[in-house]
């Protein structure tokens, strides 16, 4: 290689020529250094198959934590005599710590074709205390609700979404609304499958939440059939660092990634929480040295996840978060996928806080909200044990056209056990030391389902016709055992459950 000095000496001496030559030489060297800085080696090509991205692994941890927390509500609670009967929503909400909404952003998702009662019960319960400036409401068409702006989060999606068959109802829905046909012919609007559109909201709502309320500590995403217990949730978030990448909720099994690893996603029904660090990482776009973005926006970047074979937007969002290198924090049952009537009470849950529930009925949402304001304590976050006082499961011994079986129940079967009547089913439950309740499925098929160490209220179950023939249901509780179980389970501490795959719903 010819030394630069000799090379310059061989160039005819001309001041401008030499200056231009040196400028070009230094410019080329600068570009090479930039290439090394950004890519690790000059002119390195991206590998055909990406290397496995680093996942900040969260260890499975079944050990609960005890943490000192205090309520930010003021007053923390109203006396029973002043609460449920005499206080209006406005009076109750005067105690809500709205100053925390400068750092915590609630984001409510709905749909234009949703049952209006869902939104009404939501806004008369756990979202009642939010002013229009506090709450972001995202939907699949723009609208207003009692002074709150409802924002069409699908309007700004790129054209890459428009080709999906499941996205086409969006345009039909918009046409019906804009032409007035939706109000003249409600049946036409009812024919729109809003569930198909729902999945497309998950990615853009993360972008829009940041654009409209940037740099919040935490973003709480929930739906109109989610009940949020704000006092324990705010206590919990106050113990966490928002600049740590966190993605928290109730886990469901997700897809496998390209390296064969199983993933989880936070089920949208009970709600989920993203920390500031997570949202910033998701929305980050690399830029060239000259400032041009090299990456598309978040929703456009991941539009391929929203294909017609993908059922659910929460699953797609969870996979996009996984691809960013963030593992989900699985916090079931604090984020509960149960409706109130099917909420299980057992030793594991008993002293743990309840942060959210999914699909309580409309009246229950309003009733629980009123009840919270007479029950809240500064000394501890509201726990499953406390909610027992609202529900009082096991107060009756038997209920027809009802079933209390579910997660944790088992069907009695085997040659040594022959159960032909509900009385025999109850007797079998009594023969099991830990059995607290039973469900009898009678008529054409005899099934006895028992629950050991677990209690729930259950739900109505009318007689039905199944593949096995006619079926009717009766539920029962061993009331003395239930009372004894409750009295022997005390809560000296509030147990905040840690991340665990074993508690996945």
Question: What pLDDT, in 10s, does the model give residues 470-484?
Answer: 999 999 999 999 999
Is the pLDDT reported for residue 495 higher than 80?
yes
CATH number of the domain enclosing 158: 3.90.550
- Do 404 and 329 belong to one domain? no
CA distance 264 to 271: 15
In a domain, 7, yes or no: no
- Do 211 and 306 belong to one domain? yes
Question: Pick the residue with more confidence: 77 or 18?
Answer: 77
Strands (E), 329-389: 329-330, 356-358
pLDDT, one tens digit per residue, over 399-432 is 999 999 998 999 998 756 789 999 999 999 999 9
Sign of the CA dihedral with 207 first, then 332, 252, and 56 last: positive
The predicted structure's pLDDT at residue 25: 57
- Do 329 and 406 belong to one domain? no
The predicted structure's pLDDT at residue 39: 43
Q: Classify 6 as helix, strand or coil.
A: helix
Residue (of 117, 116, 180, 123) closest to 146 by Cα position: 123
In a domain, 310, yes or no: yes
Is the pLDDT reported for residue 80 higher than 90?
no
Q: What tokens appear for 399 in the block? A: 């209920």
- Do 302 and 419 belong to one domain? no
The predicted structure's pLDDT at residue 49: 38
- Do 292 and 435 belong to one domain? no
- Residue 348, Cα to own-chain centre: how many angstroms? 21
The predicted structure's pLDDT at residue 43: 32
The predicted structure's pLDDT at residue 236: 97
The predicted structure's pLDDT at residue 158: 95
- Do 431 and 322 belong to one domain? no
In a domain, 372, yes or no: no
Is the pLDDT reported for residue 84 higher than 90?
no
Mean pLDDT, residues 444-470 taken together: 92
The predicted structure's pLDDT at residue 319: 97
- Do 327 and 404 belong to one domain? no
Question: Given 284, 314, 336, which residue is the final one in a domain?
Answer: 336
CA distance 250 to 116: 26
List residues bridging with 409 in a β-sheet: 451
The predicted structure's pLDDT at residue 11: 46
Residue (of 280, 281, 320, 324) closest to 300 by Cα position: 320
In a domain, 58, yes or no: no
- Do 93 and 166 belong to one domain? yes
- Do 326 and 461 belong to one domain? no
Residues in the chain: 505
DSSP assignment, residue 239? T
The predicted structure's pLDDT at residue 415: 59
Question: Pick the residue with more confidence: 6 or 341?
Answer: 341
The predicted structure's pLDDT at residue 24: 58
Residue (of 450, 455, 439) closest to 489 by Cα position: 455
CB neighbours of residue 295 within 10 Å: 12
- Do 76 and 204 belong to one domain? yes
Q: What tokens appear for 424 in the block? A: 């025999």
Cis peptide before 333 (omega within 30 of 0): yes
Q: How many domains does the chain have?
A: 2
Question: Pick the residue with more confidence: 117 or 20?
Answer: 117
Mean pLDDT, residues 117-135 taken together: 98
* Percent over 70 (pLDDT), the chain: 86
- Do 417 and 308 belong to one domain? no
In a domain, 499, yes or no: no
The predicted structure's pLDDT at residue 222: 99
CATH number of the domain enclosing 432: 3.50.4
Residue (of 372, 390, 393, 392) closest to 382 by Cα position: 372
- Residue 328, Cα to own-chain centre: how many angstroms? 11
Please, which pLDDT band fits residue 56 given cuts at 50, 70 and 90?
A: low
Is the pLDDT reported for residue 329 higher than 50?
yes
CA distance 492 to 383: 12
In a domain, 6, yes or no: no
pLDDT, one tens digit per residue, over 242-279 is 999 999 999 999 999 999 999 999 999 999 999 999 99
DSSP string, 204-227: HHHHHHHHHSTT-SEEEEEETTEE
The predicted structure's pLDDT at residue 379: 92
The predicted structure's pLDDT at residue 38: 40
The predicted structure's pLDDT at residue 446: 87
pLDDT, one tens digit per residue, over 274-301 is 999 999 999 999 999 999 999 999 999 9
The predicted structure's pLDDT at residue 397: 97
- Torsion of Cα atoms, 7 then 10 then 11 then 12, to 10°: 160
Mean pLDDT, residues 235-240 taken together: 97
The answer to which of 39-43, 206-210, 226-230 has the lowest mean pLDDT is 39-43
The predicted structure's pLDDT at residue 264: 94
- Do 211 and 329 belong to one domain? yes
The whole domain housing 468 covers 398-477
Question: Given 294, 309, 336, which residue is the final one in a domain?
Answer: 336
Please, which pLDDT band fits residue 31 given cuts at 50, 70 and 90?
A: very low
Is the pLDDT reported for residue 452 higher than 80?
yes
Is the pLDDT reported for residue 21 higher than 60?
no
Contact 501, 331 (CB under 8 A): no
In a domain, 226, yes or no: yes
In a domain, 201, yes or no: yes
């Amino acid at each position: 290689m010819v030394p630069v000095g000799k090379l310059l000496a061989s160039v005819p001496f001309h001041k401008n020529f030499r200056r231009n030559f040196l400028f070009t030489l230094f410019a080329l060297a600068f570009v090479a250094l930039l290439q090394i800085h950004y890519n690790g080696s000059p002119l390195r090509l991206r590998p055909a198959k990406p290397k496995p991205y680093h996942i900040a692994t969260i260890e499975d941890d079944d050990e609960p934590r005890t943490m000192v927390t205090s309520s930010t509500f003021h007053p923390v609670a109203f006396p029973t005599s002043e609460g449920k009967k005499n206080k209006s929503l406005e009076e109750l909400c005067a105690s809500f710590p709205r100053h925390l909404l400068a750092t915590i952003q609630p984001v409510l998702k709905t749909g234009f074709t949703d049952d209006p009662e869902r939104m009404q019960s939501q806004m008369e319960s756990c979202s009642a205390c939010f002013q229009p400036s506090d709450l972001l409401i995202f939907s699949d068409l723009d609208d207003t609700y009692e002074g709150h702006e409802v924002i069409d989060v699908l309007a700004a999606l790129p054209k890459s979404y428009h080709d999906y068959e499941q996205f086409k109802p969006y345009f039909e829905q918009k046409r019906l609304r804009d032409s007035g046909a939706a109000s003249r012919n409600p049946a036409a609007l009812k024919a729109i499958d809003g569930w198909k559109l729902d999945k497309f909201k998950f990615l853009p709502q993360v972008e829009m939440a940041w654009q409209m309320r940037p740099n919040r500590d935490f973003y709480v995403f929930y739906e109109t059939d989610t009940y949020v217990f704000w006092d324990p949730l705010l206590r919990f978030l106050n113990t966490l660092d928002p600049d740590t990448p966190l993605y928290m909720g109730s886990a469901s099994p997700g897809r496998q990634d390209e390296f064969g690893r199983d993933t989880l996603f936070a089920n949208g029904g009970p709600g989920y929480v993203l920390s500031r660090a997570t949202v910033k990482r998701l929305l980050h776009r690399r830029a060239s040295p000259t400032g041009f973005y090299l990456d598309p926006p978040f929703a456009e970047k991941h539009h391929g996840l929203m294909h017609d074979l993908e059922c659910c937007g929460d699953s797609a969002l969870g996979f996009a978060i996984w691809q960013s290198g963030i593992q989900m924090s699985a916090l079931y049952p604090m984020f509960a996928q149960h409706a109130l009537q099917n909420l299980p009470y057992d030793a594991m849950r008993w002293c743990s806080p309840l942060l959210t529930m999914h699909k309580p009925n409309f009246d229950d949402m309003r009733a629980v909200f009123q009840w919270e304001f007479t029950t809240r304590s500064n000394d501890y976050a509201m726990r499953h044990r406390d909610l027992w006082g609202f529900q009082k499961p096991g107060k009756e011994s038997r209920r027809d056209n009802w079933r209390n079986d579910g997660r944790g129940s088992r069907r009695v079967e085997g040659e040594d056990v022959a159960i032909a009547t509900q009385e025999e089913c109850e007797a079998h439950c009594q023969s099991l030391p830990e059995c607290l309740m039973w469900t009898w499925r009678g008529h054409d098929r005899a099934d006895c389902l028992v629950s050991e160490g677990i209690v729930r209220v259950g739900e109505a179950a009318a007689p039905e016709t199944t593949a096995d023939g006619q079926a009717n249901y009766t539920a029962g509780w061993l009331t003395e055992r239930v009372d004894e179980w409750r009295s022997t389970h005390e809560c000296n501490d509030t147990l905040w459950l840690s991340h665990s795959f074993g508690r996945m719903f």
